[in-house]
A = this chain, B = another copy of it.
């Protein structure tokens, strides 16, 4: 086995010890006599897995008891529709902060279901989306049913420097590329969602953390009746239905939930999100410090909006960028090519990327700069 440092933006690296555990118990999990991939989702064997995944995530993120945790399918892109279908409660209006491609996609999708407005945008920044637009409470329509943000922007390497103040309006955040990378005050959000394939698990499971009052009333048995859900919402996109069935309205993506549990436990074993943040900062600082103290590579993102997870840079010469990505891959540093919409390079250094991987990258960057002087 000859493992590389994989800087992919997602799906991306998983902790080696987690992969080794999954490998060891792949043919037979515990005393079950079967693989987790073969388990009935309603069996006594699987129950502790999905419940354990939720418990570990609740502990890790310190999720208040008035929030539901759901394990869904379809990635963040499905949430782009589910959010307005479920959360347009009164005015059928919502406000979006546009800070990159995914928040823009979320906004475009939501327009199918109500009156959507752009509260702020960094599309006009130079270069595009190299910063996070500032907002105040006055930026939002007072009767908006929610405000939507993408907390960390994978493609452009930015992150909200602070949580926007939306007053009483529930804040909904796509945290696909930063969930579990550092502590976050869940109580400041109405809802958090994340495709798991960047920081948590293989592609195929989406985490939704939602404040219960946003799901509306309950019946005598404590089940949500779907007060606010748009009537033509597909059952699978209906948060009330999913909450009522503990994410088991149909067969959930069991293997991905199992992998998420292993990753959550790996973080807990390490010391939780405070320790994860310390490690992630150390990695990101190594890279940003280098970038700030040389003049070969250009780092376009405004300092205070820099992402700890996705570090973008370029040489300023497309041919050199190509050469960089290709020679880096040959040196065991894979997937450093920037997103096709922006070019350049992007180093995604999620939780599972070891410090040694970033050291190896910086060493490569220095060598490449020496060996490839610009005209």
User: Quick one: closest B residue to A231, CB to CB?
Assistant: B112
Cross-interface CB contact of A33 among B2, B202, B231, cutoff 8 Å: B2
Please tell me if the beta carbons of A3 and B27 are within 8 angstroms of each other in the complex. Answer: yes
Q: Count of chain A residues with Cβ under 8 Å from any Cβ of B? A: 67
Q: Is the CB of B6 within 8 A of A235?
A: no
A202 touches B10 (CB 8 A): no
Taking a contact as CB atoms under 8 Å apart, the answer to whether B75 and A250 are in contact is yes
Note all chain B residues with C-beta closer than 8 A to A23: 23, 26-27
For the complex formed by this chain, how many copies does it contain in all?
A: 2
The reply on A298 being an interface residue by CB < 8 A is no
6 interchain residue pairs of minimum CB distance: A4-B33, A81-B234, A204-B253, A37-B202, A77-B250, A8-B40
CA distance A225 to B297 in the complex (A): 42
Q: In the complex the two chains form, is A19's CB within 8 Å of B26's CB?
A: yes
Contact check, B1 vs A203: say whether CB atoms are below 8 A apart. no
User: What are 25 A-B contacts defined by CB distance under 8 Å?
Assistant: A2-B28, A3-B27, A3-B28, A6-B33, A8-B39, A8-B43, A11-B38, A12-B38, A19-B35, A22-B26, A23-B23, A23-B26, A33-B332, A73-B253, A77-B249, A78-B234, A78-B236, A80-B235, A109-B234, A109-B235, A112-B232, A203-B254, A204-B256, A234-B234, A253-B256
Binding site for B on A (CB under 8 A): 1-4, 6, 8-14, 16, 19-20, 22-23, 26-28, 32-35, 37-41, 43, 73-78, 80-82, 85, 109, 112-113, 195, 197, 202-205, 231-232, 234-237, 249-256, 259, 332, 334-335
- A43 and B40 alpha carbons, distance in the complex (Å): 32
- The reply to whether A26 and B26 form a contact with Cβ atoms under 8 Å apart is yes
B33 A27 Cβ-Cβ under 8 A: no
How far apart are the CA atoms of A30 and B356 in the complex, in Å? 23
